[in-house]
Amino acid sequence: MALLTPEDLENINSQLQEADFSVRKVTGLDIKGICKDFYGTTPGCEKVGIVPVTSGNGIIGTFSESLHAIAGYFGFDSFVTDMPDVSGYYEAVRNGAEIILMADDNTFLAHNLKNGKIANNQPCTGIIYAEIASRYLKADSRDVLAVGFGKVGFPGAAHLVHKGFRVYGYDADKDLLEKTTSRLGITPFDLSNPDNSKKFSIIFEATPCADTIPESIISENCVISTPGIPCAISEELQKKYRVELIMEPLGIGTASMLYSVL
């Protein structure tokens, strides 16, 4: 998994505010509104315990503090434990946490200890970014391009198929592309073939690579909803085609996880 860096999480509050502004512009609802509508839940006064985890590559400076800021932004009462790992888990439960947030290098989970619901960041992120893309108010058709069918992209692409969109898809891994398109009923769309010049107004991207979206397939004012870091499109193309970009490193996916376990 591509791991976040402290630089990705700099100014997380302003990143969230900007993302919220863009989500509202694209869908008419803010991130809270989308989560509430999609999961049918609203936060009460659930207490969220955030447990730093030292295994693998260890603590990412500001990861836990960013989760604390994100939980607060979405109306949850949260605290970061002093101790990491098992001792931190014990501390969180002893101090009244009802929802636990914790991540190692492979899994970032939200676990609601009251109702037993558990969420994984990857599908929750893919699904919410796909949901945001699917709500684009000015979309010119129900055609969507999905790029990247990994742990985040696959659930997002599947979500778009289940919502009845005509999904075109690409992954640089040819075997995965073939398997996923046939499994989900997606039309393969080879972005490396310059003859493929169909234009899209809705694009969902989830890869760890930059500049995955070529100029030839971008329509003016399209939405690119992308959890993938770094950005799928250059600033130059973004400006040239007035792209509505939904991209934020941690908060949208975390909101999706928290609302999904209520």
Q: Where does this chain bind ligand PYL (CB under 6 A)?
A: 1-4, 52-53, 59-60, 63-64, 103-105, 108, 121
Rg of the chain's alpha carbons, rounded to an integer?
A: 18
Q: Packing angle between helix 12-27 and helix 63-73, nearest 10 degrees?
A: 40
In the complex, least distance from residue 252 CB atom to Mg ion, rounded to whole angstroms: 5
Cβ-count burial of 7 within 10 angstroms (0-12 exposed, 13-18 middle, 19+ buried)?
exposed
Site string for ligand NAI, 126-165 (x = CB under 6 A): ---------------------xxxxxxx------------
Residues from 36 through 95 that contact Mg ion (CB under 5 A):
none
Is 173 near ligand NAI (CB under 6 A)? yes
What are 116's strand-pairing partners? Answer: none
**Number of C-beta neighbours around residue 90 at 10 A:** 13
Whose Cβ is closer to ligand PYL: residue 103's or residue 132's?
A: 103
Is 227 near Mg ion (CB under 5 A)? yes
In the complex, least distance from residue 250 CB atom to Mg ion, rounded to whole angstroms: 6
Q: How far apart are CA 165 and CA 145, in angstroms?
A: 10
The one-character DSSP state at 156 is H
Q: Please report, as ranges, the residues that interact with ligand NAI according to CB under 6 A.
A: 1-2, 121-122, 125, 147-153, 170-173, 176, 206-209, 212, 227-229, 249-250, 253
